[in-house]
Structure 1
Amino acid sequence: MSATRKKSLSIVYNGVEAWKDLSPHIEQFSYTDAVDESDKITLSVIDRDLKWAGAWIPKKGDVIMPAIILENWNYENEKMTFNCGSFVVDDFSFSAPPLTGSINGVSAPVNTNFKESGNSRTWEAATIQVIAAELAGKYGLEIVYDADEIPVAKTEQNERTDSEFLKALCEKYGLGLKVYANRLVIWDYRQYYSKPAIMTLTPSMVSNWGYRSTMQGTYTGAKVSYTDPGTKKSVSVVIGSEERLYKTTQKADSEADARRIGEGAILKANRKETTMQIQLPPKLSLVATENVEISGFGKMDGKYFIQKVSHQIKKNGYNMQVSLSRIPESGIQTNTEQNAETAKNERHGETYIIKKGDTLWNLAQQYYGDPTKCTAIYEANKEEIERAAKKNGKSGSNGGYWIFPGQSIKIP
């Protein structure tokens, strides 16, 4: 006889394991893990003894650390524990009789200034990682930065909260940001899209699903302007094609910066182009920022990015709702990219002399059709680039950001 499947929770409330006392009063536990919003939890309670109206009444700022525990779920004697993170109580409500209510928590530092207090500051000659690390340090957060270095010549906070400012800065360059388990996590969507799928989902695995495809609010290209340092004139850069063009009044610092901003805008907008909503029994390996393969759904098949996972645990059931956005198929090249590929093959190993206005970003676009391969050019010429940066009064090249006319480099 096989063992019975069991589900339960562990809830550490203000540092004390409280599930044994709380479990008779919890009707439902909900947990949302998302990339575009803060993670959230909700405890739906019923309390005929009125404890929640007395000694148990929560306070804003209380810290809840929940974990989901599954036993015998896939095989006998299996036990899985999924830590949801750390949450600060930011809202609660009750009504009676009988006394029912909800306690809501959000993943954020205990210091609520991160999301509530506006600040003004100008940042110059920094990088996103440096800015993020300094802001994380204000709130005792560990930083996890999973992206390339992105230089920022100048940016202003202008009476925005630290959370709002940093999120907008990350989105500007195609980066994601979230607070999880007292960590400030930043990642690059381009790099995460390229990760392998952790699972293949088929129709037999899901209880219901929905699919949507739209062109509204999506783009095939972006137009961004910057001021040429030599001529002092405004120069427009088009990234992608012009069929559905995103135009921004936001000024870039350089051509490389303009391309990063344009790509970031396209990435953000196009996450809603093709989406799926899937409900299925719990699979704890499905978390936001991972990729899955959809198979057996016909034309909807493909590789998808997990945008959000919502868990609902009741006394008599547990299900998950997973929100997905389709990742564009790899290997499809525009005419510009095909020409760049040809140029790469013809000019592989070429020696190039840096000219005024050049960046490694636009050289990678020119030679490879992929500006993110600027790191390959930098690594192949690292000693020369760093030597030239110091010769020109810099402490370093900032990963190839500072290059100077007359330098000789090899195109790997």
Structure 2
Amino acid sequence: MHTRNAYFDITIRGKNVSTQLAPYITSVTWSDAANSTEADSLDIELDNRDGLFSGAWQPTKGDKLTAKLITEHWHSEHERLVVNCGVFEIDETAYKFGGAGDSITLKAISAMVKGAIRREKKSRAWENTTFSAIANKIATQHGFGCVFTGDDVQFTRIEQKSESDIAFIRRLAKEHGHALKLGDGKVILMDEAKQDKKPSVGTINKNMVLSVEITDKSTDIYSACEIQYHDAATNETRKYLCKPEGVPTSGQTLKIKSRVESLDAARKKATAALRRKNKFETSGTISCMGNPHCIAGSVCTLGGFGVLNGLYAIEKSTHTTGEGGYTVSLSIRRTVNY
């Protein structure tokens, strides 16, 4: 029988350094977020007892590195899984000296978060276009690809007001029910409602967890959304009450004002606003033995937790390999059915 194994394959400046680093690695931690409000990161802690990493092997801030999470014989004999973690840039180097031994931690963040797509603010109007077309054009302008899933949105006119390109896309994503992620050289926009309906990657039973904390709240939870919007066809202000199947039976009515193109657009925008407010009604964190399938944007099942059993969306995953083995910590929320 083969021994289970989990490790990160690491390339720095285009050179695979996994073999050279292996004797010095204390731990590697990869954090993967489903939404771009938090950048993906990779931390590599190294034993610096020989002073190599503060001398001849000293890394340079700004160096590009790539990483892959690899598991062997993890779930079954002869199984080998490879998860591409992405491209990162060393942003910070932390040195520790002392009685416990010298060490260095390379702190890297997604290489896409430091470019002009985030820095440069622009003001411009977009006319007779769609959300996917805007995302594709902006991505192309910055040399990135674009992935867009879910229903598109039509705009007669939409203004980008002193916003960076990514801040503008994030605003549209938030208003129209999409999660935005920058990764693997792509601007990725995922329909959150469809993401929540993905098949579960597996069940996490109570006897498998190292720790778990889940909160079920009623504060700031809504049972309906009333949207007031301007009907361009009739030049009138209208109201629409959105109460999709699956919303909480009790709670306040969320009230919003917005410019939309049609009644259908008003319904979709109101539904997105409800989801945004209610999706963390039941949420928490869980730590357990590592599972390479549990990555941000996927869905898992909780079992053995009584009324808390069911499907949960993974908002963030943090995978760690090292002397303590392979573990994963997840930020989760119960899936929403509307």
Matches within 5 A, 1:13-412: 13-36=12-35, 37-96=38-97, 99-109=102-112, 112-240=115-243, 243-328=251-336
Paired-residue identity, %? 26
Between Structure 1 and Structure 2, how many residues are aligned? 329
The answer to which of 231-240 and 120-129 deviates more is 231-240
Instruction: Using the TM superposition, give the Cα deviation of residue 46 of structure 1 relative to its aligned residue in structure 2, in angstroms.
Output: 3.3
The gaps in structure 2 that reach 5 residues or longer are 245-249
The answer to which of 173-182 and 211-220 deviates more is 211-220
Compared CA separation, residues 126 and 26, structure 1 to 2 (3 A): same
Q: Is the 8 A contact 1:108 1:179 kept in 2?
A: no
Quote the Cα distance in structure 2 between the aligned partners of 1:243 and 1:300.
20
Cα deviation digits, residues 219-262 of structure 1 (max 9, x gap): 22223222122442322222228942223344334333322221
Letter in 2 for 1:12: T
Letter in 2 for 1:39: D
Compared CA separation, residues 41 and 279, structure 1 to 2 (3 A): same
Letter in 1 for 2:284: M
The answer to which of 313-322 and 68-77 deviates more is 68-77
More helix by share: 1
Quote the Cα distance in structure 2 between the aligned partners of 1:243 and 1:141.
42
SS in structure 2 of the partner of residue 109 of structure 1: helix
Q: CA RMSD in A?
A: 2.3
Quote the Cα distance in structure 2 between the aligned partners of 1:5 and 1:107.
29
Normalised by the length of structure 2, the TM-score is 0.88
Cα deviation digits, residues 10-57 of structure 1 (max 9, x gap): 101121101222233332211111213332211223323333334444
Quote the Cα distance in structure 1 between the aligned partners of 2:110 and 2:139.
14
Q: Is the 8 A contact 2:212 2:284 kept in 1?
A: yes
Instruction: Using the TM superposition, give the Cα deviation of residue 152 of structure 1 relative to its aligned residue in structure 2, in angstroms.
Output: 2.0
Q: Is the 8 A contact 1:13 1:62 kept in 2?
A: yes
Letter in 2 for 1:85: G
Cα deviation digits, residues 281-326 of structure 1 (max 9, x gap): 1111112222222222111112221211111112232211122211
- Report whether the alignment pairs 1:4 with 2:3: yes
Q: Is the 8 A contact 1:109 1:139 kept in 2?
A: no
Q: Is the 8 A contact 1:35 1:289 kept in 2?
A: yes
The answer to which of 262-271 and 199-208 deviates more is 199-208
Instruction: Using the TM superposition, give the Cα deviation of residue 4 of structure 1 relative to its aligned residue in structure 2, in angstroms.
Output: 2.4
Letter in 2 for 1:286: C
Q: Which has the higher contact order (CA 8 A, sep 6+)?
A: 2
Quote the Cα distance in structure 2 between the aligned partners of 1:94 and 1:134.
42
SS in structure 2 of the partner of residue 86 of structure 1: strand
Letter in 2 for 1:32: S
Quote the Cα distance in structure 2 between the aligned partners of 1:223 and 1:172.
15
Partner of 1:348: none
The answer to which of 219-228 and 249-258 deviates more is 249-258
The answer to which of 177-186 and 71-80 deviates more is 71-80
SS in structure 1 of the partner of residue 222 of structure 2: coil
Quote the Cα distance in structure 1 between the aligned partners of 2:336 and 2:166.
29
Quote the Cα distance in structure 1 between the aligned partners of 2:232 and 2:81.
57
Compared CA separation, residues 54 and 281, structure 1 to 2 (3 A): same
Quote the Cα distance in structure 1 between the aligned partners of 2:268 and 2:302.
30
Normalised by the length of structure 1, the TM-score is 0.73
Higher-Rg member (1/2): 1
Letter in 2 for 1:134: K
Instruction: Using the TM superposition, give the Cα deviation of residue 8 of structure 1 relative to its aligned residue in structure 2, in angstroms.
Output: 2.4
Letter in 2 for 1:101: I
Quote the Cα distance in structure 2 between the aligned partners of 1:186 and 1:226.
25
Runs of at least 4 residues off by over 6 Å: none
Quote the Cα distance in structure 2 between the aligned partners of 1:6 and 1:199.
20
Quote the Cα distance in structure 2 between the aligned partners of 1:220 and 1:110.
36
Cα deviation digits, residues 58-95 of structure 1 (max 9, x gap): 44432211112222323443333222122223333334
